[in-house]
Chain A
Amino acid sequence: MEGYLNAISRAVERGDDKQVVKIVEEALASRVPPLDILEGGLVPGIQALGKLFKDGQVYLPEILISCRAMDRGVEELKPYLADTNIHNKGTVVLGTVQGDLHDIGKKLVRLMLECNGFSVKDLGVDVSADSFAHAARQHSANIVGMSTLLTITMTYMPKVIKALEQARLRHKVKIMIGGAPVTREFADEIAAEGFAEDCVSAVDEAMRLMRL
């Protein structure tokens, strides 16, 4: 079994989706438990990639193809997993704040969070404070993640926090923010518990906020 898991992990790490699918199929045929394939093969692969990113050994294209490989592997497992929610480390409601249409940074955060076991509700771009609060309630979010690229829309982030307070949800969710002009100091200033500089540190930060 170890051989299959290590091979899956290495294939995820190098973003080889075809190989991931092939080895997952072989592992299933050899009666390796699906949950072991997920937790002992796919997840360690993506975690190893995250470490490589932090060490500056891989870059965004590698993140994308590894997330794709992981996703293909998970798709193979789905019919065999009794509870598809078993992988869920928490629910994140994510969006680019109102007045800002930037998408790609948030998208990468979503991909990495999903690959690392979070359930993500992506609200898209230009998201109003009320929409964040509504979605946080609807999905029983653990974390509300906000993104922006502009200094002029960064000031919308406290409005979202205010809306969560008014909806009496603030004590139920942690706030995580990111984007080009955003700093840890700004996060502290607006009382956001989390701040991430990139898609990999967003996973670390979400884990920290969930105390995982």
Chain B
Amino acid sequence: MSISNRERFLAICRFERRGDLCLLTPYINDFWPETLELWVKQGAPKEILDSRFRRAYFQFDHIRILREIKLGIYSDRKLDIGGAAYVYEIPPIVPLYQPKLISEDEHTVTLINEGGQKVRVFKDSPQKMPLFLDHPVKDRASWEEYKKRLEPDTPERWPSDWDAYVQKMNSRDEPTMLNVGSFFGFLREWTGLESLLYMFYDDPHLIEDMMDQICHLETESIKRVVKDIRVDSAMFWEDMAFKTGPLISPDMFRKFMMPRYRKVTDMLRSSGVDVVFVDSDGNLNELIPLWIECGINSFWPLECAAANDAVALRKKYGQYIILGGNIDKRALLKGKNAIRQETMSKVPFLLESGGFFPSVDHLVPPDVTWENYRYFINALREVGGLEKLPE
């Protein structure tokens, strides 16, 4: 009996399809734009730049992110910098800021982006993360102004023809994912990391106010979405850890974030959404048990350079958690032996254990060659009992 893509996704999340290789895209299996451009030069078909072609070529499994509803972080915003795309992430503010060129020199451009951040971007490589020079929220007064862009009922936050959108999304034979924002990550985007870390001590009430507004935006919006649309999974975006651990203490996490996460995840679960991802770079080992307490059960990208080990996590947490990523991007730089070793040391166990969506441990960077990436996908397919990709 055939199974729909949506049922398959949910069955994997429920540990009911062990051994099934599901390469989700976008987001989970995704690339720096520069990587794809370089691959064309290395002999990849030029259509690889197109996401639909790429999906078909690599036989990826599509997850429909409900990106038309502006609730989460969006990285598909683009500005033209000297003929190349500066792709940047903005939180769900409506209206956006008007982008503005401030200055430029031989190598860089300084501008205000649509998120209100002043950034310096490389002209020849605008996809790299920029240098953040200034942020829109500095104090209570600037927050009160900024906050006006975070109301759930602003019409521009929603697809203009809601009924048509609902019908389109519900008619799809593929899993859906709703971005449900961020409690740490958004604040960092609004204030800058250093200012934010000081603010936890200098103005904790402002932190609480900002997080309350996020909570209000998310819960009110989720209420509206789940009433009409079949949502299969949700994704928080935090990026709140560095190489050896979290950016704030577990105590701060419990005090500021946990109660608000719970409001969001309770609402999701009461609507049948029980696959709740968090995307965070860095070492997550201290954070994962806290997120589990908050009702979050799925983790990506599990960066290897930051000592995340999906095999160890599976052994520790069993079926409490769903895992994604954790294939060391650095192995894909080293060549076929390293790729094979990395893949075979993890993926057979993780696939057989269930609840695992393989991918490189973040976006595929430009120093991974086309040949190596194809070899990696074929190694995954071998583990999944699938034929190699056609030449």
CB <8 Å contact, B197 and A60: yes
Interface size, A (range): 20 to 34
Q: Which residue of B lies closest to A179 (CB)?
A: B243
Binds B, one of A4-12, A76-84, A97-105, A162-170: A97-105
Is the beta-carbon distance between A64 and B247 smaller than 8 angstroms? no
B226 within 8 A of A: no
B126-134, B171-179, B377-385: which lies at the interface = B126-134
Contact B245–A59 (Cβ < 8 Å): yes
Distance (whole angstroms) from the CB of A70 to the closest CB of chain B = 15
> Nearest Cβ distance between residue A99 and chain B, in whole angstroms?
7
Bound: A102/B239 CA distance, A: 15
Residue B244 CB within 8 A of the other chain: yes
Cα distance A59–B131 when bound, in Å? 24
Across the interface, name the chain B residue whose C-beta is closest to A102. Answer: B129
Indicate if the CB atoms of B128 and A100 lie closer than 8 Å.
yes
Counting CB contacts under 8 A, is B120 at the interface? yes
Q: Which residues of A contact B200 (CB under 8 A)?
A: 61
Measured in the bound complex, the distance between the Cα atoms of B303 and A126 in whole Å is 24
Q: Report the minimal beta-carbon distance from A57 to chain B, rounded to whole angstroms.
A: 9
Residues of A contacting B122 in the complex (Cβ-Cβ under 8 angstroms): 99, 101, 126
Q: Which parts of B112-140 form the interface with A (CB within 8 Å)?
A: 120, 122, 125, 128-132
Hey, which chain B residues are within 8 Å of A152, CB to CB?
Answer: 365-367
CB distance from A147 to the nearest CB of B (A): 11
Contact B333–A103 (Cβ < 8 Å): no
Q: Which residues of B contact A61 (CB under 8 A)?
A: 197-198, 200-201, 248-249, 252
Residues in A1-22 with C-beta less than 8 Å from chain B? 15
Cα separation A102 to B130 with both chains bound (whole Å): 7
Asked if residues A103 and B132 are in contact (CB atoms below 8 Å), the reply is yes
Binary contact track B156-195/A, C-beta < 8 Å → 1, others 0 = 0000000000000000000000000000000000000110
Q: Which residues of A contact B132 (CB under 8 A)?
A: 103
Chain A residues lying within 8 Å of B64, measured Cβ to Cβ, are none
Q: How far is the CA of A61 from the CA of B204 in the complex (A)?
A: 12
Contact code string A98-124 (vs B, CB < 8 Å = 1, else 0):
011111110100000000000000000
Interface bits A51-77 vs B (CB < 8 Å: 1, else 0): 000001011111011001000000000
B44 interfacial contact with A, CB 8 Å: no
B137 CB → nearest A CB, Å: 17
In this assembly, does A150 line the interface, its C-beta being within 8 Å of a C-beta of chain B? yes
- Select A101's contact among B130, B193, B197, beta carbons within 8 Å: B130
Q: Is A160 an interface residue (CB 8 A)?
A: no
Q: Are B194 and A64 in contact (CB under 8 A)?
A: yes
Known: A64-B197, A68-B198. 8 other contacts (CB 8 A): A59-B247, A99-B128, A101-B128, A105-B242, A151-B330, A152-B367, A183-B305, A197-B244
11 A-B pairs (CB sep. < 8 Å):
A58-B249, A59-B246, A61-B201, A62-B249, A64-B197, A68-B198, A99-B128, A101-B122, A126-B107, A126-B122, A180-B305
